[in-house]
């Protein structure tokens, strides 16, 4: 590094009135081009300066050095002021010519879009996305009904494979989260309830919220993280490797061929897993209440009183719709995958985020409409 410093000292800038002489150092590379740049930037504040680079001493120069010189030449030209470069060695002339060529320079500003353009572009993109989603929804609905009318069209083998991966293999995590959620919720609520001697009503509280809200919702969240992302990645990879195109030109519509089996699997599996979630949730509640001295029979009786068939069926209905959203959204994001290394990752993320959002919104809509319907 010491060597470089000595070299830097060779750079001399002499000012004589409106005339600036720059003695270039022996070495001008990316290590010290910044130095020259900054020194000349300071000089820019002087009005009316003609610039002269003396390059006799220059022996080693790389792209950064040449670009630096070319930059100041261009600035001088734009301002209509003098520029001279003396003694640049023959071997660097080619690079210098290239750097000062007219077309070689593109302003960074031109690459960036203006605010209006960006707003317009964003609006068009979003409108297009909404349009695409509507088209997809229509296509999916048509395919699904066509398949339900003619069950032979469904690829049952694929459906069951997906159902296994999505359902059977998710059993441990669903049961674990269900158990823990029931346990934690009931434990947290038992402590304040105990002050009123109302511990037994924890069964009502947690039982109801599990069946009506938390069971379907948490199951949907877990499944969208676990399976929605898998759908998006799977189909996205197929998109990137042209397999979707290949299916299309074989006459096998990808929606019918890939997405309907996944949708059907999801429709079967999501309600079933919700049941599992609820069951293990209740187990957690039972354990907490047992530890507070209530026998199981009391707990079961209490739940029986609190939770009606309406609550259970309402929850099931919700989970059916959630299942549709998870599969539909996961596959949609997969089909939307563009080309490039990050594309699959991006669509996986989008699949999870958008299905969680839609599930939450849908859950809100269900709660309100159930309230007004008196369910």
Partner 1 sequence: MKENPLREKPIIRVSHLTTGYGTETIMQDISFNVNPGEIFGILGGSGCGKSTVLKNMIGLTQPFSGEIWIGDKNIVALQGKDRIFFWNQIGVMYQQSALFGSMSLLENIMLPLEEFANLPRGLRLEIAQLKLKMVGLESFGKLMPSELSGGMKKRAAIARAMALDPKILFLDEPSAGLDPITSVDLDYLIKNLSKNLGVTFVIVTHELPSVFEVADRVIVLDKDSKGIIAEGRPIDLKSSEERGFVHRFFNRIAAEETE
Give me the 168-197 binding string for partner 1, x by CB under 8 A, dash otherwise. Answer: ------------------------------
Beta carbon nearer to partner 1, 41 or 117: 117
Beta carbon nearer to partner 1, 7 or 233: 233
- Look up residue 113 and give its two tokens: 């879009």
CB of 247 to partner 1, least distance (A): 8
Q: In a 3-state reduction of DSSP, which class is residue 21?
A: strand
> 80 near 47, Cβ under 8 Å?
no
CB of 160 to partner 1, least distance (A): 14
Beta carbon nearer to partner 1, 246 or 357: 246
> How far, CA to CA in Å, does 157 sit from each of 160, 185, 262, 265, 293?
5, 40, 11, 10, 49
341 near partner 1 (CB under 8 A): no
Beta carbon nearer to partner 1, 220 or 233: 233
CB of 86 to partner 1, least distance (A): 39
Q: In a 3-state reduction of DSSP, which class is residue 225?
A: helix
> 329 near 228, Cβ under 8 Å?
yes
Q: Please give the Cα distance from 39 to 14 (Å, whole number).
A: 11
Matching residue, tokens 């590094």: 1
CB of 218 to partner 1, least distance (A): 31
CB of 368 to partner 1, least distance (A): 40
Beta carbon nearer to partner 1, 41 or 125: 125
Q: Please give the Cα distance from 219 to 274 (Å, whole number).
A: 6
Beta carbon nearer to partner 1, 17 or 251: 251
Q: Please give the Cα distance from 307 to 315 (Å, whole number).
A: 11
CB of 146 to partner 1, least distance (A): 12
CB of 139 to partner 1, least distance (A): 12
Q: Which residues within the stretch 213-272 sit at the binding site for partner 1 (CB under 8 A)?
A: 237-238, 241-243, 245-246, 248-253
Beta carbon nearer to partner 1, 54 or 247: 247
**All residues at 6 or more sequence positions from 23 whose CB lies less than 8 Å from its CB, including other chains:** 10, 11, 12, 13, 14, 54, 57
124 bridge partner residues: none
> 224 near 326, Cβ under 8 Å?
yes
Residue numbers at the binding site for partner 1 (CB under 8 A): 237-238, 241-243, 245-246, 248-253
């Amino acid at each position: 590094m010491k060597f470089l410093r000595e070299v830097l000292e060779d750079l001399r800038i002499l000012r004589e009135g409106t005339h600036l002489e720059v003695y270039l150092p022996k070495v001008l590379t990316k290590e010290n081009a910044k130095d020259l740049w900054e020194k000349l930037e300071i000089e820019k504040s002087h009005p009316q300066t003609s610039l002269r680079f003396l390059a006799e001493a220059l022996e080693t120069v790389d792209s950064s050095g040449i670009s630096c010189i070319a930059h100041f030449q261009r600035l001088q030209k734009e301002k209509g002021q003098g520029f001279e470069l003396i003694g640049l060695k023959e071997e660097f002339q080619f690079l210098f010519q290239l750097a000062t060529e007219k077309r070689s320079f593109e302003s960074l500003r031109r690459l960036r879009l203006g605010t209006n353009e960006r707003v317009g572009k964003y609006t068009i993109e979003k409108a297009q996305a909404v349009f695409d989603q509507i088209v997809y929804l229509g296509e999916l609905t048509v395919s699904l009904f066509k398949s339900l009318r003619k069950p032979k069209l469904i690829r049952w083998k694929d459906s069951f494979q997906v159902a296994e991966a999505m359902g059977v293999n998710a059993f441990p995590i669903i049961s674990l989260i269900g158990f823990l959620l029931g346990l934690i919720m009931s434990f947290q609520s038992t402590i304040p309830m105990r002050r009123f001697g109302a511990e037994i009503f924890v069964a009502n509280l947690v039982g109801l919220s599990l069946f009506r809200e938390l069971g379907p919702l948490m199951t949907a969240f877990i499944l969208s993280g676990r399976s929605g992302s898998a759908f998006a990645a799977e189909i996205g990879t197929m998109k990137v490797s042209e397999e979707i195109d290949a299916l299309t030109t074989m006459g096998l519509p990808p929606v019918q061929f890939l997405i309907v089996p996944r949708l059907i699997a999801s429709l079967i599996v999501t309600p079933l897993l919700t049941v599992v979630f609820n069951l293990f949730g209740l187990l957690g509640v039972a354990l907490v209440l047992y530890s507070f001295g209530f026998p199981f029979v009391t707990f079961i009786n209490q739940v029986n009183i609190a939770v009606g068939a309406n609550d259970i069926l309402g929850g099931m209905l919700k989970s059916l719709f959630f299942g549709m959203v998870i599969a539909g959204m996961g596959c949609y994001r997969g089909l939307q995958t563009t080309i490039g290394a990050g594309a699959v990752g991006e669509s996986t993320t989008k699949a999870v985020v958008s299905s969680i959002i839609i599930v939450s919104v849908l859950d809100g809509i269900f709660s309100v409409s159930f309230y007004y319907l008196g369910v």
